[in-house]
């Protein structure tokens, strides 16, 4: 009997098994099949049952296994192929309609892998910008702890972050400068006027913050402003992680897709 779970990971080697265990921390609802027998029949049954598949094997194996049971891009579930060491993530079926492309980006962000999308218009990658607000004299350790906790809780790694940002009022904060130096990332400081351009896109507006800074939110607005300036593009950034906070600071993460060299 096929499990009722809707995501199935399939591994064939010991490194693949270890990689699957890592992925289960991101996808706790998924099931993991290691060296299922008979292999092709088992994978095909799960595919035809509508399960999204992550196949930790060569693309050739995946193609030969699923080829005979393919229907069309509107019915087939998303399928990803990963090498056993988790260096590359390749969406091979239902990239657009089935969401495999976006799923591949999420998996590659989590693993720190290279996402390879062959759709003609999608030679892009997710770029993350972190917006920060902090109390006067906030120590860098507190900022770093909030950053790591936030990223980890969403299956992200530091390397995915391309830039930091805050409000001009904080440009002399030593902790922010130290954080940028530690992470070897650029940091930008925006005026309240610029940050107010993003007021309608905040998860919530704060009158208290407005009275203190002249804008309705620092971390979220700074993240959005910074993300949209990472590339020369008219694309809108999205608020990936709404404001999080600890005793000393606030933090938010915005995402935009593009080529950082563009």
Would 120 be classed as within a structural domain?
no
Please check whether residue 1 lies inside any domain of the structure.
no
Residues 6 or more apart whose Cβ sits within 8 Å of residue 220: 131, 198, 201, 202, 203, 239, 242, 243, 252, 254
pLDDT in tens, 90-149: 999 887 667 788 888 889 888 988 888 876 444 667 889 999 999 999 999 999 999 999
- The model's pLDDT over 32-73, given as tens digits with 9 standing for 90+, comes to 999 999 999 999 999 999 999 999 999 999 999 999 999 887
- Alpha carbons 60 and 81: distance in angstroms, whole number: 10
Entry pTM: 0.56
From CA 254, how far away is CA 219, in angstroms rounded? 10
Same domain, 106 and 136: no
Residue given tokens 């805050």 in the structure block = 166
DSSP 195-246: HHTTGGGSS---HHHHHHHSSS-SHHHHHHHHHTTSSS--PPPEEEEEEEE-
Report the pLDDT value the prediction gives residue 99, as an integer from 0 to 100. Answer: 78
The yes-or-no verdict on residue 2 having pLDDT over 60 is: no
* 188 assigned to some structural domain: yes
124: CB partners within 8 A, 6+ apart: 117, 257, 258, 259
Does 183 share its domain with 109? no
Domain of 170 in residue numbering reads as: 125-258
Paired strand residues for 238: 255
Q: What is the mean pLDDT of residues 149-168?
A: 90
The verdict on 108 and 155 lying in the same domain is no
Same domain assignment for residues 146 and 251: yes
Residue 224 near residue 246 (C-beta atoms within 8 A): no
142 shares its domain with 253: yes
In the chain, the number of structural domains is: 2
CA-wise closest residue to 122 among 262, 257, 260: 257
């Amino acid at each position: 009997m096929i499990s009722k779970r809707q995501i199935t990971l399939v591994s064939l080697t010991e490194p693949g098994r270890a990689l699957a265990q890592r992925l289960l921390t991101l996808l706790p609802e998924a099931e993991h099949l290691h060296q299922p027998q008979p292999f092709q029949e088992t994978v095909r049954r799960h595919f035809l049952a509508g399960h999204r598949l992550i196949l930790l094997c060569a693309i050739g194996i995946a193609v030969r296994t699923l080829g005979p049971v393919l229907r069309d891009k509107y019915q087939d579930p998303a399928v990803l192929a990963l090498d056993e060491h988790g260096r590359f993530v390749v969406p091979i079926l239902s990239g657009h309609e089935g969401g495999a492309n976006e799923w591949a980006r999420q998996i590659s962000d989590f693993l720190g892998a290279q996402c390879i999308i062959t759709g003609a218009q999608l030679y892009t990658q997710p770029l993350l910008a972190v917006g920060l607000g902090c109390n006067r004299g906030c120590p860098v350790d507190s900022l770093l702890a909030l950053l790591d906790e936030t990223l980890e809780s969403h299956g992200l790694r530091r390397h995915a972050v391309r830039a930091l940002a805050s409000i001009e009022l904080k440009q002399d904060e030593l902790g922010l400068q130290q954080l940028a130096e530690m992470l070897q990332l650029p940091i930008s400081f925006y005026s309240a006027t610029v940050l107010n351009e993003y007021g309608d896109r905040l998860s919530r507006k704060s009158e208290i913050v407005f009275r203190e800074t002249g804008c309705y939110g620092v971390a979220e607005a700074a993240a959005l402003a910074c993300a949209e300036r990472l590339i020369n593009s008219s694309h809108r950034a999205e608020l990936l992680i709404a404001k999080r906070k600890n005793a000393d600071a606030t933090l938010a993460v915005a995402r935009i897709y593009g080529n950082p060299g563009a």
